[in-house]
Amino acid sequence: MKKIIIDGNSLTLDDLVNVARYNFPVEISKEALENVKVSRQIVDDIVEAEQISYGITTGFGKFSDVAISKEECRQLQKNLIMSHSCGVGNPLSEEIVRAMMLLRANALSKGYSGIRCETLDVLISMLNKGVHPIVPEKGSLGSSGDLAPLSHMVLTMLGLGEAIYKGVKMESKDAMEKAGIKPLEYLGAKEGLALINGTQCMTAVGAITIYDAMNLMKTADISLCLTMEALNGITCAMDERVNLVRPHKGQFNTAKNVLKIVDGSEMVSEQGQLRTQDAYSLRCSPQIHGAVKDALEYVKNKIEIEMNSVTDNPIIFPGEDQKIISGGNFHGEPMALAFDFLGIALSEMANISERRLEKMVNPALSHGLPAFLVNQGGLNSGFMIVQYSAASLVSENKVLSHPASVDSIPSSANQEDHVSMGTIAARKARDIMDNVRKVIAMELLTSVQAIDLRGKKKLGVGSEAAYNIIRDHTPFIDKDRIMYKDINICEDLIKDNLLVEVVEEALEEEILLFEEIEPSKQLSDNL
């Protein structure tokens, strides 16, 4: 298993997922450790000289004008962690907690935070040995960073609070003992602040969400193709020429994906063959799917910047012009806006997927398919309530898409008078994505039923592979049965990436997401 080396500058989204989801081991680079030592020495010198410096020899927030003696510095940091551990609600998943721990370690390894190497080592050991703090998901304002969630993480480092070890919830001290990790005896000056003053909770949630959303966009294109075949959809709207004269990357790539996936299909049509135009949910799918892809690319870029950023306060700048500067890098606004955008974009995928589902089940819109895709309708309800369920999720997403970032409630006696609510935005985006995945699972299940009822002919090279794996796991529905099980199976095919994998294998290339526009050679020659 590959080891992920962190240095504060080069962590990728793939690295993060490999550590968070697949338990890849982590190590700090030697150069990074040297940088950490340099900044730590500066902190020690300030404490020894009893200089006034925010968060090192002062209180926090509104208490920034309260001086703290050299003898009280350690107690100050421990008090900070205990008093700020005010998270509530359900615990974050272990993979999100792991992502949060990795991101915090990576930020600290840049060498601008003043942490001790031994403190950083405990955090890395917890990652590598699978000690996962219990971190409640609610309680962060997203400025001064994710104070409450990160405090719960640090509790475990001190042998306080609760953690999960090998799937069992227990006291942190017991988890650390079982894993063979010695908890920190104390937090030195600034260390508590360095560990919790940052955006790592919201970034962890958002990073895992964007990673899964990218796979989901590939699945959405596959689902679109199966629906087009179920409805004898017109492929002319996917013509390269149409999408080159409005050259948004996502739009172009979506149209290209569709033509590749349905290549060779006997169930799609051309304009004028069966009808002149399709409804927007088919004809405008490159524009809609494409816009979502473009939004995801923007968010992904923002996340990758944040993953390798210093987000605590104050920031220690070693060197000839040594300086400690109090700034606002902990403010989550760059992430808050991005995650609200992500949620809005993803909700559109559920919107259009449900409309395509409705076209298949509604006899007034399905171009000849039986009502609700079942024989003996009336006795059988078929896919009637599948559409109900999809509509419910779409409606819920519309509520969740209200931006969190437009809200702000001042805190710390108005010292912190504007906050981002970025962590709420990230959690909402995650919830929206979960709903979208379910809706697309419903569309997949519905589309293969419609294909069978249409009288299945040869499908496209990619859609045939998709159809086969869905039918390998779910049966044709000739009479009413318990439907949620089949929906869950289709969702699992998405979660496990099996659907994308079989289609990409059939295509012998990856489904496009963010690739630059490349017209076909034939068209290029004519332009």
Active site residues: 54
Alpha-carbon distances of 104 from 147, 182, 517, rounded to whole Å? 12, 20, 36
The token pair that represents 58 in the structure block: 């002062």
As a whole number of angstroms, the distance between CA 280 and CA 273 comes to 18
412 preceded by a cis bond (ω within 30 of 0)? no
Contact status, residue 449 vs residue 358, Cβ threshold 8 Å: no
Bridge-based pairing state of the strands 26-28 and 4-6: parallel
Spell out the alpha helix ranges (H) of 183-248. Answer: 191-196, 200-230, 240-244
As a whole number of angstroms, the distance between CA 118 and CA 115 comes to 9
Alpha-carbon distances of 318 from 36, 37, 325, rounded to whole Å? 10, 11, 11
Element (H, E) at 233: none
Of the candidates 330, 348, 345, 343, which has an alpha carbon nearest to the alpha carbon of residue 403?
A: 343
Contact status, residue 506 vs residue 468, Cβ threshold 8 Å: no
Alpha-carbon distances of 42 from 38, 48, 110, 368, rounded to whole Å? 7, 10, 15, 76
The dihedral region occupied by 505, where left means phi > 0, alpha psi between -120 and 50, and beta the remainder, is: alpha
Alpha-carbon distances of 278 from 134, 193, 200, 266, 404, rounded to whole Å? 51, 58, 45, 17, 36
Strand partners, 138: 88
Sign of CA dihedral 428, 432, 437, 442: positive
CB atoms within 10 A of CB 82: 16
As a whole number of angstroms, the distance between CA 193 and CA 152 comes to 13
The token pair that represents 69 in the structure block: 């003696």
